[in-house]
Each structure stands twice: as C-alpha cells, then as structure tokens.
Amino acid sequence: MKRILVPFDGSRHAARALDAALEIAKSNASELRLVTVAERQRITEAMWWETYMGKLRAELERTRSEIQRGDEPVPETSVGLLEGEVVDAILEEARRWGADLVVMGTHGLGGLARAWIGSVADALVAETDVPVMLVRPDDNGDQKVGFTPGLVAVTLDGSDFAEGALGPATDIAGSFGAKLMLIHVVSYPAQVSTYLPDTVIDNTDFIEKRVEAGKAYLAGIEEKLELTGQQVETKVVVSARPAIGVLDAAAEVGANLVVTASHGRRGPARWLLGGVADKIIRGGHTPVVVVPGRE
C-alpha cells in the first residue's frame, strides 16, 4: 500500500474517500495521488475547455494545499489532471503510476434494495488490476470519515480465489495494528425429501459437517497468519444467503472494514458486479476493499 490513488471530483463522497486514503497513507508512509478526469465531450468550445481545465487544476491544487496545511504529518502528495473517458483514464493512470490501492467514494445509499453503487465505481471495480476501497456516504451528512480500523473482516469460502483478499487485508490491518476477523459462511443445502423429517435430519447433518469443516479450514489459515505476528479471530456463520451472513457477522463483531475478492466482469453478461461480493459491497455500511480475484 505504498502508492494510493484517489479519484477526486470535489463531491462530499470524494472528500470522505480522501479522508480514509489520508489515514492509510499516514500509517504506511505512502505516496498519495489525487486525480480528476476532464471529459472532452462535456465541452465543445476551445475557449470554454481551457476555462474548464483551469478550474479543475485549481480545485486539485487547493485540495493538495489543504492536506499540506494540516497539523499532522502528511504523505507525499501529487495531483494529476487526466483527459478522456473517466473509467479508462483512471485505470490507465493506476497502471502508469503503479498504484497499490485505489480509494474512492460511492454514491450508493446502502441496503440490498438498491441496484447500483455509482457507474464509475462499479466499472472501475470490474476492470481494475489493483484493490479498490469503496467508502460509503455518511448517513448524517458529515464529510469526515475518521478511518482507523480496529477490526478488519475478510470473507473466505475455502477457495484460492477468495484467499487473494488476505494479502491486502493483512497489509491494512498490520499498518493500523488491527485484528483480522476471518469469516466463512455455510449455506443451507438444497436437499429436499418427500418425507419432511428426513429432510430436516439430512440438512442438519450436512450443516454440522460443513460448520466443522469451515472451523478447521479457518484454523489452518489463522495458524499461518499468527506466525507472522498478526492477531486473528475466526467466525463460521450459517446463513441461507452468504452475503447477509457476512454482513451480519461483520456487524456483530464490530468490524469497520470488510475485504473481499471479486470476479471482475464488465458488460451485459453480468448484473453489475455479480455474485456474493456484489451484495456485500451494496448491502453494508462500512468501507469495503474489493480485491480483483485471480482464477
């Protein structure tokens, strides 16, 4: 997490993301880069384009100056004014600059009933090669986020794919001296017998075995992580809906950051982000770090 990129558009959502990025950057002595994207299709006249670009530059420099005037030591901060389509420009800048983390605000309102987290955040998570931290709007309208995680929840389903989230999770937890909470969800089986008592017995037996297997799986990972000095707790949850199980478990233990791996797929073949990670991103109220999965 030595290079943190923050897409910044001057909104209160972006301001909250910047607060979180600053806390991470300070704890890691990371470089911070603020970028704004100027979209050519918004302005056709050359004269107005220069005025528009000048306004964006001034906003970036003003924000950088505010960071540097703070009482606490600040990381090295640079700014960049990009041109082009927003998502493509941010992705290219992240690759060119070698970003280790992208931190951005979302326009989502929370709750599984909503259908989007903001088109830019949605597309960026789907296509990026680096972890993306999504910071949600504050319910009370306060722009300051005060991001200091004491407990970082990581979702693990037993696959190597999901374990890809462990690296970024331990990086963040380690920098703040936070504890890791490994969460594994056991879903109810779809086994149905024509005789109801048989179904109950079979399903109960199935769940008990899966819970014990989940505990053993998490214990193995816990042992490896503790050898590195990382504090770890584990939790196995039984839930008909894995995403709800993760969110409920994270809320119950008081986790203030959730880290999850995601299959990035953009286009009509997916429903936004798709899958369990998508529902975790949309359904919670804490910041979420989405780690691009590797098959």
Cβ neighbours for 65, distance < 8 A, ≥ 6 positions apart: none
pTM of the model: 0.83
Instruction: Quote the pLDDT of residue 111.
Output: 38
Q: Are strands 232-238 and 257-262 parallel, antiparallel or unpaired?
A: unpaired
Mean pLDDT, residues 72-100 taken together: 89
Q: Are strands 31-38 and 77-83 parallel, antiparallel or unpaired?
A: parallel
What is the rounded distance in angstroms from the CA atom of residue 258 to the CA atom of residue 173? 11
Among 51-65, 114-128, 227-241, which is the least confidently predicted range? 114-128
Segment 119-131, tens digit of pLDDT: 777 788 888 889 9
> Tokens representing 221?
């990972």
Burial of 209 (0-12, 13-18, 19+ CB in 10 A): exposed
pLDDT at 116 over 60: no
Tell me the Ramachandran region of residue 229: left when phi exceeds 0, alpha when psi lies from -120 to 50, beta otherwise.
left
% of the chain with per-residue pLDDT over 70:
78
Instruction: Quote the pLDDT of residue 243.
Output: 86
Most confident of 23-37, 113-127, 268-282: 23-37
Domains of the chain: 1-147 (3.40.50.620), 148-295 (3.40.50.620)
Mean pLDDT, residues 25-29 taken together: 88
Instruction: Quote the pLDDT of residue 202.
Output: 57
What is the rounded distance in angstroms from the CA atom of residue 14 to the CA atom of residue 196? 53
Contact 227, 236 (CB under 8 A): no
Instruction: Quote the pLDDT of residue 143.
Output: 46
> Tokens representing 117?
């987290």
Instruction: Quote the pLDDT of residue 200.
Output: 54
Task: Quote the mean pLDDT of the chain.
Answer: 81
Segment 129-152, tens digit of pLDDT: 899 998 876 655 444 555 778 899
Q: How confident is the model at residue 107 (pLDDT cuts 50, 70, 90)?
A: low
Sign of the Cα pseudo-torsion (289, 26, 144, 53, in order): negative
Q: Are strands 132-135 and 101-105 parallel, antiparallel or unpaired?
A: parallel
Q: For residue 289, what are the CA distances in angstroms to 45, 132, 179, 254?
A: 40, 5, 16, 16
Contact 132, 290 (CB under 8 A): yes
Helix, strand, or coil (residue 42): helix
Segment 152-207, tens digit of pLDDT: 999 998 888 889 999 999 999 998 999 999 999 998 765 555 555 555 555 678 88
Angle at the Cα of 288 from the Cα atoms of 8 and 94, rounded to 5 degrees: 45
Contact 13, 137 (CB under 8 A): yes
Segment 271-291, tens digit of pLDDT: 334 467 777 877 777 889 999
Q: How confident is the model at residue 42 (pLDDT cuts 50, 70, 90)?
A: low
pLDDT at 257 over 70: yes
pLDDT at 263 over 70: no
**Residues facing residue 235 across a β-bridge:** 183
Q: Give φ, ψ of 211 to 5 degrees.
A: -65, -45
Sign of the Cα pseudo-torsion (285, 249, 177, 79, in order): negative
Mean pLDDT, residues 14-26 taken together: 88
Instruction: Quote the pLDDT of residue 267.
Output: 42
The size of the chain, in residues, is 295
